[in-house]
Chain A
Amino acid sequence: MTMIQDTALTYVFAVCRPSGERTAAALGGLAGVGPPAPVRTLAMGPLTAVVQDVPAADYAEEALRQRLSDRAELERCARAHHEVITAAMAAAPTVPLPLATLYRGDERTREALRAREDSLLTALDRITGRVEWGVKVYALAGQPATPASAPGAAAATGRAYLEQIRSRRRGREERQGAALRAAERVDTVVRGLAVAARRLRLHGAEVTGPRRTHVLNAAYLMDRGRERQLRAALASLGRDEEAVEIELSGPWAPYSFADGGTPP
């Protein structure tokens, strides 16, 4: 039995610019990650944190690890986290913090965020008036180049069989190359509309399904007014690029740019 068992932890969702009562009003009625404590604001000089008290028994290290390794519970937490950030973002410029950012009480929260104050203020400057868009590009499973090279088609001789493998391999390499080049073209166009861009990890077959391969997973920070231009650019790319499928998601809170981001 340690001391923290009895105290509450402070769960921090995001950091915003102070907006008087607007942020507090926008958070009213949200359940957050764990009622009954309300989602509230915590003022600290030039920043306002969006926080919630959570029972230490449910969120201390071991309990938290178990919680986040349970898929359904992880999803619930992620959705609650996202809901609070979206509400805060509507009221004032907001830098989202990672899921499960926890401190032992308000004082520790203030100390920890004060230590990062400069970088948080820089991030706030960067994201004000801007939103994040996600662009994913997938290579589609290819059709065999010729019916003769289809898997399973019987070859007459050993040599013919080897030629079959060779052309299948070449076809696969060409398709992969074409998909990667298409992904670079998509990235170049979208980067041109963005103020910052970031490449994220590609998803494996477990997420994409067996019929397509993930070749680009990127996040772009963009001025709010760019949406129509972005959609038009992607629609045109979608017509030109036949080897790939392009997916757009957003607008998101700038999750990928909470620490700045590289210039395009």
Chain B
Amino acid sequence: MTGARVDLDQEAMGRDLVALVLTIVELLRQLMERQALRRIDAGDLTDEQVERIGTTLMLLDRRMAELREQHGLEPEDLNLDLGPLGTLLPRD
């Protein structure tokens, strides 16, 4: 048996963990965006509420971009390949 199959590089493992955590956060963020669009389409929000939700989501998006940048991650790094099910997050 070869001993070189698993590369135990601590730095790489830390980076993978950050990417995984940010992927989950990104999934939740995108679900919130979807839910917001659905509620706007249903028409049960006031203009003021729409504006506030939009602003909050926009700030979250910016914060995510900052976090990605800090950890040297591209948007496409935050995703999981689920094999036959496709990817966790939609790809552009």
Q: Within the complex, what minimum Cβ distance (angstroms) separates B65 from chain A?
A: 7
B81 touching A158, Cβ below 8 Å = no
A213 interface residue per 8 A CB criterion: yes
A157 interface residue per 8 A CB criterion: yes
Which of the segments A52-60, A119-127, A160-168, A256-264 contacts the partner chain?
A: A160-168
B52 nearest in chain A by CB position: A158
Q: In the docked arrangement, what's the CA distance between A160 and B50, Å?
A: 10
**Which residue, of A155, A202, A204, has the highest number of chain B Cβ atoms within 10 A?**
A204
B36 touching A141, Cβ below 8 Å = no
A159 touching B81, Cβ below 8 Å = no
B33 interface residue per 8 A CB criterion: yes
Taken residue by residue from 28 to 65, chain B's Cβ proximity to chain A (1 for < 8 Å, 0 otherwise) reads as 00000100110010000001001111111110010001
Q: Within the complex, what minimum Cβ distance (angstroms) separates B49 from chain A?
A: 10
Q: Within the complex, what minimum Cβ distance (angstroms) separates A34 from chain B?
A: 19
Q: In the docked arrangement, what's the CA distance between A165 and B37, Å?
A: 9
Given A204-B83, A213-B91, residue A159 in contact with residue B51 (CB < 8 A) = yes
A:136-188 near B, CB below 8 Å = 141-142, 144, 151-152, 155, 157-162, 165-166, 168-169, 172
B53 touching A151, Cβ below 8 Å = no
A162 touching B92, Cβ below 8 Å = no
Taken residue by residue from 51 to 92, chain B's Cβ proximity to chain A (1 for < 8 Å, 0 otherwise) reads as 111111110010001000000000110010111101100111
B76 touching A210, Cβ below 8 Å = yes
A interface size (C-beta, 8 A): 26
Give which listed residue, A152, A162, A213, contacts B65 with CB less than 8 A: A152
B55 nearest in chain A by CB position: A158
B57 touching A162, Cβ below 8 Å = yes
B12 interface residue per 8 A CB criterion: no
Residues of B near A151 (CB, < 8 A) are: 75, 92
Taken residue by residue from 179 to 208, chain A's Cβ proximity to chain B (1 for < 8 Å, 0 otherwise) reads as 000000000000000000000011011100
Q: In the docked arrangement, what's the CA distance between A204 and B86, Å?
A: 6
A155 nearest in chain B by CB position: B58
A66 interface residue per 8 A CB criterion: yes
- 14 contacts across the A-B interface (CB closer than 8 A): A70-B2, A141-B91, A155-B54, A157-B55, A158-B51, A158-B58, A159-B50, A162-B54, A162-B57, A165-B57, A172-B90, A172-B92, A205-B81, A206-B81
